[in-house]
Amino acid sequence: MNLDLQDLSFDRGGALLVKRVLRSTPDDQAITITGTAPDLLVHLRAWCRAEGHDFRLSDGDHAGAVVTKRSAAAQRWAGAERAGRADPLDPSAILDHPPQRWGLAARGALVESGSAEFHFTLADKVQVWSSDATRLYAQAAAAQWDPATAIPWNTPFDLPDEVEDAVVQIMTYLIENETAALIVPSRFIAQLHPHFRETMQVLAIQAADEARHIEVFTRRALLKGRELGVSTAGGQASLQTLIDEPDFATASFLLSVLGEGTFLSLLWFLERFAPDPVTAAVCRLAAQDESRHVAFGLAHLREHVTADPSVRGALKNAVLRRYDTLRYTAGLNTEVFEALVLMAAGAWSPADLRKGHDNVARLIEDMHAGRKKRLLRLEFTESEAEELSRLHTRNFM
Ligand SMILES: [Fe+2]
Ligand SMILES: [Fe+2]
């Protein structure tokens, strides 16, 4: 058997021809390979050594080699394994405990044996998987909006000074909360076994959503040339407990189910009472994104607590612990609270302020009702849901 590569060099396509011929060559049979490309034999010899085929220079006038196919070459893939299945709907797609040696391989790829072990700490299906992840990722990808065009930045408006100050203070508060909401999922992406591709994608697009929220809230705050408002120690202490939480289930429970769930009420409230169209638009767009973040948190935690009901106790303890840690901090800063009242009042008359205050009180009750509803969906009892919701941080997130 003879293969003439002519002037084709091994590293510029010749290798394909050699492999093709060897595929149809029986084991232990020799083929003669010739060609005029410089270095052909050097490359061919190195390749044969790596693949386990015999190589010797051919006798005769033309530069060439005799390659004898050895079955060791086939054995390179003998210990290889299929890393689950790419299609998440395939019943054998997602493993309960994908091995660390699969590393970064695409789910469904044939993984050569002998790969180095990786160290993904979130590597159990029960901790991270939700059958809703595929749908929620697709929904999020389709719902991405462009801050430059989705918000009517150029609509002319002018607010009374104190109302503009109130908006700026609320935006300042929102930005630091969004920053926590960006950092928490980002930290877990780095620990997640890539076998759970759809969860990784959901968390990544969630972080991208938060990046946009930070951008538009900042841009609204600066729209009229003001300085940003205040950031308080109490608010930061509350957010720090989220950033420092090492457990994925606990962190998503505190952040997505309780915190972002509470923010849904807040953002829709801000959209309703916004004194200008830009504030209304940034809050509406952020609220739409947040509802997906809440949905994913609920979806994977529901599956987790169903598989392991003891997790519910751990989540409950996390709320109690956090309450205890934050017990002597101020919670929501007065400046934010008063800004909300003023925004909902719309004017300074005593009657308007009473109405604004009542609206904020209704917001707080609405937040509580939303948290309770979500806690019940995780099958906490009625009294647990009531208690845990009441103990949720006064900083809202
Ligand atoms: Fe957000
Ligand atoms: Fe979020």
Q: Report the separation in Å between the CA atom of 396 and the middle of ligand 2, taken as the mean of its atom positions.
A: 13
Q: Ligand 1: distance of its center to the CA of 218 in Å?
A: 13
Confidence band for 52, pLDDT divided at 50, 70 and 90: confident
β-pairing verdict for 81-82 and 110-111: antiparallel
Task: Note the pTM of the prediction, 2 decimals.
Answer: 0.86
- Residue 283, pLDDT > 90, answer yes
pLDDT tens-digit map of 184-231: 999 999 999 999 999 999 999 999 999 999 999 999 999 999 999 999
Q: How far is 241 from 326, CA to CA, in rounded Å? A: 9
pLDDT of residue 78: 78
Write down the pLDDT at residue 59.
81
Average pLDDT in the chain: 95
Q: What spacing in Å lies between the alpha carbon of 168 and ligand 1's midpoint? A: 17
Instruction: State percent of the chain over pLDDT 70.
Output: 99
Calpha distance 139→134 (Å, rounded): 9
Beta strands in the chain (DSSP E): 2-4, 30-34, 54-57, 64-68, 81-82, 110-111
For 102-138, the pLDDT digits (tens) are 999 999 999 998 888 999 999 999 999 999 999 999 9
Question: 289 alpha carbon to ligand 2 midpoint, in Å?
Answer: 7
Return the residue matching tokens 């991405």.
144
- Cα 396 to ligand 1 centroid, rounded to whole Å: 13
Which alpha helices (DSSP H) does 190-232 contain, by range?
197-222
**Would you state the pLDDT for residue 182?**
98
Q: What is the mean pLDDT of residues 43-50?
A: 91
Tell me, what's the pLDDT at 76? 74
Q: How many residues does this entry show for the chain?
A: 397
> How far is ligand 1, taken at its centre, from the CA of residue 291, in Å?
10
Question: What percent of the chain lies above the pLDDT cut of 90?
Answer: 90
Residues 6+ positions from 200 with CB-CB distance below 8 Å:
189, 192, 194
Q: Which residues contact 189 (CB under 8 A, 6 or more apart)?
A: 200, 203, 204, 207
Asked whether residue 30 carries a pLDDT value surpassing 90, the answer given is yes
30-34: strand order across its sheet: 2-4, 30-34, 64-68, 54-57
Burial annotation 222-245 (CB, 10 A radius, 16+ → b, else e): ebeebeebeebebbebbbebbeeb
User: What confidence category does residue 73 fall into, taking pLDDT thresholds of 50, 70 and 90?
Assistant: low
The pLDDT value recorded for residue 74 is 65
Inter-residue contact 206 to 141 (CB < 8 Å): no
Using alpha carbons, select from 176, 347, 371, 339 the residue that is nearest to residue 257. 371
Q: Are 397 and 260 in contact (CB under 8 A)?
A: yes
Note the pLDDT tens digit of each residue in 315-342. Answer: 999 999 999 999 888 778 889 999 999 9
